[in-house]
Each structure stands twice: as C-alpha cells, then as structure tokens.
C-alpha cells in the first residue's frame, strides 16, 4: 500500500495533542527528534524563500505562519536556542495583524529575549472588553481596531484571546487580567460559534493548562 502524502498542519495538530497528553502525565510514542528536524528544515526553507521576494509586504500571513512554526518548534524542544530564527523572521517581515503581535510577544517570553521590555503592556494594548468585564483580543487587522470597527455578534475571537492568555500566563503576575479572560470564555460558553472549544474548556476548568 502506498503511503499518502503528509499534510503538515494535520501532522502538527496530532503532535500537539500528543504533547498535551505528555503534559498531562500520559506516555506516548512520540519521536520528538523526527518532528524537530522536519519543522526546523521547513522553517529554514521558508526563510530562504523570503530572500528572493522583492515585495514581502504583500505576504499577509507569512509572519503568522513562520512565528507559529517557531512556537511549535519551541514546544517540541523548549531547551534549544531558537532566538536566531526569531530575529530573522522579525527583521524580514512586518507585523500586520494582532495575531502577529501576540505571537511575537509569546516568542519573546518563551525564548527568554531580555532586551524587549513591557511585553505585558504591549499585549494589553490590543485588548478589548465586554460590557460584563470580560477581556478578549479580536481577529481583525490592526487598522480595523484603530478605526473602532464594531464587533459582530457572532465574532468570538477565541484564537487570539487564547494566545493572549498564553502570553500573560507565561509572563506571570497577571492573575487579575487572566481572570477577566476567563470571564470572557464563561460568558460565551453557551455560544456554538466559539471555536477551539477544547482549548476554551481548559482555560475555564484548568487555568494552569496554558502555561506551556
């Protein structure tokens, strides 16, 4: 039987679930070295391809994808020094979205980059609040937030809010803000439009889950 072609995002999702299981104390057969080598090779190739592009500003999700890859690589091997990749990505591509900003803040906190100050303040700069006091981060472009675009009723912004939670949890001493984020998820717990339900439930019922 021929082996089907591997789809990277599906593989990374499965590996992330196995890492979650290990964090929860379960034993897995995950070969980290295999995925570290593969992810690092993909990251190097992506960075090399940027060198031949004349107009990098037209790449709307390139920084998000590269930063997400680096976050995944850091989770696979948290003791390795990946600062060089961070600086290479950050130098070549501008942050176009709130998610770009949040991923940048997460990597700064995870990689131990000490020359960047006020990361918590940077994250909170892009936060929004609900009438009930919940705190969340939108999925809109930075320009949209600056223009004060109204939030649509079915727009839950789960992914960015979870990302901000991870950053603030990693930084530490942000419990009052984390509580406001949990309030946001509580207020939306009955909303079927909320994505990433699995992760949301972990924020609600096991706040320490997102420390890694």
Domain ranges of the chain: 1-94, 114-212
Identify the H or E element spanning 128. Answer: strand 127-129
Q: Which residues contact 153 (CB under 8 A, 6 or more apart)?
A: none
Q: How far is CA 110 from CA 4, 88, 133, 135, 146, in A?
A: 35, 16, 28, 23, 28
Query: Residue 22: its pLDDT value, please?
Result: 85
Q: What pLDDT does 131 receive?
A: 86
Render each residue's pLDDT in the chain as its tens digit; 212 residues: 455 556 667 788 888 888 888 888 888 888 889 989 989 998 999 888 887 765 666 667 888 899 999 999 999 998 889 999 999 999 988 888 888 999 999 999 999 887 777 888 889 989 988 888 889 998 665 445 544 444 444 445 788 898 999 899 888 888 889 999 988 887 766 555 444 454 555 554 444 444 44
């Amino acid at each position: 039987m021929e082996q089907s072609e591997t789809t990277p995002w599906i593989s990374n999702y499965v590996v992330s679930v196995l890492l979650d299981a290990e964090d929860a104390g379960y034993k897995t057969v995950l070969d980290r070295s295999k995925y570290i080598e593969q992810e690092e090779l993909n990251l190097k190739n992506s960075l090399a391809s940027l060198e031949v592009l004349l107009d990098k500003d037209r790449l709307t999700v390139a920084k998000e994808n590269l930063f997400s890859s680096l976050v995944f690589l850091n989770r696979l091997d948290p003791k390795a020094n990946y600062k060089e990749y961070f600086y290479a990505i950050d130098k070549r591509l501008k942050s176009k979205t709130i998610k770009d900003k949040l991923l940048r803040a997460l990597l700064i906190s995870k990689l131990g980059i000490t020359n960047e100050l006020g990361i918590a303040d940077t994250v909170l700069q892009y936060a929004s609040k609900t009438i009930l006091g919940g705190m969340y981060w939108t999925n809109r472009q930075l320009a949209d937030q600056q223009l004060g675009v109204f939030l649509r009723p079915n727009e839950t912004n789960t992914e960015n809010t979870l990302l901000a939670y991870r950053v603030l949890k990693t930084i530490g001493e942000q419990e009052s803000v984390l509580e406001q984020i949990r309030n946001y998820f509580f207020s939306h717990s009955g909303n079927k439009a909320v994505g990433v339900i699995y992760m949301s439930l972990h924020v609600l019922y096991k706040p320490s889950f997102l420390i890694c």
